[in-house]
Structure 1
């Protein structure tokens, strides 16, 4: 790819890009070298279009490499987590480990000759003078005709404001900093959040002889990882092709009742809306149980409702119970950071940082702006986005040469 220096005219004298020399990139710039960014780069390359990936960290898939716990495995079968045009190795298990998934991504990048520019955190990007201007925190500046946002739904940790948290005398950590239960032996640990991460961290703590408790503030669907030996996720994907969503939800809930029983009596209430409908309408993913419910049923993990306030050595819950804890782990998830750096765009919501257009139409914006990995449908959705983006940019290239 040939780069050149250019002077881009700014629209305002107060514009931070005004009169700065920028490196001209005649191809797409992709922001983020996670699975979505890699997929976009590979799809573009197969169509003969090079790209430049800007990645803030020093490695690909930084969320997986730097911010996940050791015992993490894919919760759904590997065939639903493949990036475009390259399956997992046949000797990998059905549910690859964190390390195996990273190995797959590294092999994927090598196979398609993808070499991101690491340590290039994007500070801002804006449409100026008929092209995109991208500025990094280190002061580098680029201009390009197409911008692909691949920072994803999980770019920044969500840390809720909880009354009294500042005075708590024990350790407080987000799951992004949690690696294993080692060091928590015998400690009373409160895990805040009952999504897949919170449930699995609580289980991991049990395996290290800690005394975990789980905050379940909202209603949540918990489904077995497998039903009658088949992947619950795979079963749902097959059924939605044949049946209305309401009937698929009934099948999944019936299988859940038979396999794991009534979760209401454990302090975990189910939403009235079925799991697939809830995911489709509100993006709320059901939890796939990997053994945590068994520990809850047998008293190894306590369940509490929402937190009212935190004190120096204990936590008061909304139901009036007060319990002492040595540590708090926030399994409160992540969020998009796009509104903090992408300026004056109409594509992304300022509220949640996700595309305003719902799936499957959220991948394309205006004036060469694209999004990959914001579908709330995992790597399957990211693969669809990547293919659509590459096809669309190729059409733009052909029009420009005609």
Structure 2
């Protein structure tokens, strides 16, 4: 069917009318949740526990697509499992202390099944805007067949998280480099890099682990360390460093706990600055609280750096056909470059609201623990920079906040139906 309009006496194609005619509109009784990762699942489960229905919209074809499609094979949770559980359901007892990627995905699938959470997959949210006139959110999506659907809801929960889009830095000469350049989102294992010289850009947990994986596959990795970084042992005094830190914070101020962590790290790991890993001026917990920058929990990479199996390099200045020039003037040849440069929020690209979320970084303007609630029925979960613990806190607060509003709406709807 052709959609036409009359312009100056002539009938011409009317694309706006055609788009409106092809847009399906659906009224959602409860909240719409954008994102079917751990954050979205946690929010849906907490709402269901309070008898509040919800609808999850997910752009991928599965839950936890970052874990299933964009995580490397050797990935494990960096923290012990008791700190990574979603609300209302523990990990199976037979899971290891640090669950594997496959373990975690299995747990998330069981979680969705247990709470009968059924996301609508292959729905990319392109716009979400609050309609001031009717007092509802209009959430517009496109699907796999390019169909447009508008979901109308009273509450909107943003659960797309801090890791929605890859951060890809631009270096001078990138187009000239003959080797491969890939983000860690497409890195699976170091098997295909065997025998090659590989530069890993980024010294967070992912960059460190990718270097270790490359070593295990007979590659020759070098690691770009542009900024200062805290490297801590994964275990201290027979327990997890993270768990020990959380326990100490119940009794001591952050700075004293930081002093203890740094003292233990010095005893166990030595002076990391000798290997080009300079520590920031403030302690790891204080830095995490102020900037969200997570310390590296070492799982063996430091030993490979110490023995020279992994080289540490300064920041990249430019790329040439076969080589990389660094800011200190050194030039080295590489066969491949892996960008362990992290991810970012994509909220500003689709949420037509600028009060709750910053347009600069796509994160809530209010710092933790106050960034979970905005105006007009807008909420966020999974943007705390505190991992799955922060996600669980947000999900519980959101469900607690929406429950009385939902029950009130049910009472009002019954009143109107009686009339």
Q: Same fold by TM (over 0.5)?
A: yes
Q: In structure 2, which of residues 229, 243, 260 is the aligned counterpart of residue 220 of structure 1?
A: 229
Q: Does 1:268 align with 2:277?
A: yes
Q: Does 1:41 align with 2:44?
A: yes
- Where do 5+ consecutive residues of structure 2 fail to align? 1-15, 413-419
- Residue 348 of structure 1 corresponds to 357
- Residue 138 of structure 2 corresponds to 133
- Residue 6 of structure 1 corresponds to none
Q: In structure 1, which of residues 357, 360, 368 is the aligned counterpart of residue 366 of structure 2?
A: 357
Listed one character per residue, the Cα deviations across residues 129-183 of structure 1 (whole Å, up to 9, x for unaligned) are 3100001123111100000000000000000111111110001100000000011
How many angstroms apart in 2 are the aligned matches of 1:120 and 1:21? 13
Q: Which has the larger radius of gyration?
A: 2
Listed one character per residue, the Cα deviations across residues 5-24 of structure 1 (whole Å, up to 9, x for unaligned) are xxxxxxxxx9x998965211
Q: Does 1:250 align with 2:259?
A: yes
Q: In structure 2, which of residues 373, 376, 387 is the aligned counterpart of residue 367 of structure 1?
A: 376
CA 312–281 in structure 1, closer or farther in 2 if over 3 Å, else same: same
How many angstroms apart in 2 are the aligned matches of 1:328 and 1:216? 14
Q: In structure 1, which of residues 195, 199, 217 is the aligned counterpart of residue 208 of structure 2?
A: 199
- Residue 407 of structure 2 corresponds to 398
Kindly report which structure 2 residues correspond to 1:1-400, keeping only aligned pairs within 5 A, or say none: 22-128=25-131, 129-138=134-143, 139-400=148-409
RMSD over aligned Cα atoms: 1.5
- Where do 5+ consecutive residues of structure 1 fail to align? 1-13
Deviation at 1:264, TM superposition (A): 0.3
- Residue 8 of structure 2 corresponds to none
Deviation at 1:395, TM superposition (A): 1.9
- Structure 1 residue ranges, 4+ long, deviating more than 4 angstroms after superposition: 16-21
Listed one character per residue, the Cα deviations across residues 323-373 of structure 1 (whole Å, up to 9, x for unaligned) are 000000000000000000000331000000000000001000001000000
- Residue 4 of structure 1 corresponds to none
Contact 2:24 2:149 in 1 (8 A): no
Task: State the number of aligned residues.
Answer: 389
Deviation at 1:206, TM superposition (A): 0.1
How many angstroms apart in 2 are the aligned matches of 1:194 and 1:167? 25
How many angstroms apart in 1 are the aligned matches of 2:391 and 2:243? 17
How many angstroms apart in 2 are the aligned matches of 1:297 and 1:395? 58
